Structure 1
């Protein structure tokens, strides 16, 4: 179980007149995410979704607040203990190509977390990488390629394989289908839905698209200006959203909104 307590992140930025101002990117959020459960987090660009994701993944440090994994407060850990505990949180970024080292083959990119955290002999490592490629639908022949030789959808599959390689307890997908064409997007969403059932992990999918959120999970969080303004546990349609901000997001959808089939 992941428990977020009074999590707060401030940035100091310059306004248009070059004056320094303090911005609350994440504003004292408290939240509990259950084990082996999928969640979707919706909000407009700038709502604080990605900042929250980076804090959960250990990329950003909170200004204040706590993140608990089971009975351990990550803020109290240091050194190797912190590094190993943070490995239980994996982040799949929007831009897959930038997340993969352009100089390394796909095989080595997927193998990197295993080599750092769970070293194995060469035959067992090869077997594990082949198993992961099969699980995410990535042709084995592509493992020897460099990232730029793969399509956007194939790069995304490689990033997902890398994220699940060490069987983390928590996986965050940050706008992970943005920029993909409709057919490939549907394939990646179906892959995530299947993995959510197969992997013993908590999934948090961050998106600005309510249709995507509803397709992936009935547990939906709505974020505005750094705060969670609505939380649904059994969402099935637009009608389940009650907060005015949620309704505004729905009203702003195209008239012929693309429901995912």
Structure 2
């Protein structure tokens, strides 16, 4: 690893100040991606500003159906929150199947969302739940936040403070995991709101990252059943093709995982 300066921020304002005073600083949350890329010498930030010890960025609050999850909340805390499970068990189940215990105790929801890995789980949940990403400067709808592979609407120095959403009537997530990394080779999060609105988001398969599938949404809005997806077409030309799976294989996985998610919901 290259030499770097480590800073432990005590507040969001402190973190912004520390990063703005560095040459090429980076915010550090769980470090599940950043530390690995530094070890491979693919990234060499001059300064690391640790966000994990900022009290305002931690915790889960549920007020009726309204949910707020602090950005520095770990996957483990999301997975084991009884309060969250009572209104949206789907996101608890999603968090429970991220990586392994070490990753779940270190990785954070804010770090995952900010990194926007094309195979990450949380982006699909936020997109399907019509969530809002709250930063220190503004609020961004999930549909506007995820802009491409490893790319988001975050501006220089902007910090994710929390994610918020209204718990749906029904929701579930199903993914086909890479056996080594446990990243989603294809994952589908489905959500149905009380008003009948249905949203379906796919991760791990899109050539441009997480995306919604309108054909599945229309089919499920008319008939909330796995059988409703039988006639839906998934275009492989818009999907990833790599050593793990071809685009045609992923197209099939999208339908299979969507059916499993609907059945689970």
TM-score by length of 1: 0.30
User: Using CA pairs below 8 Å that are at least 6 residues apart, which structure has the higher relative contact order?
Assistant: 1
TM-score by length of 2: 0.30
- Is the helix fraction higher in 1 or 2? 1
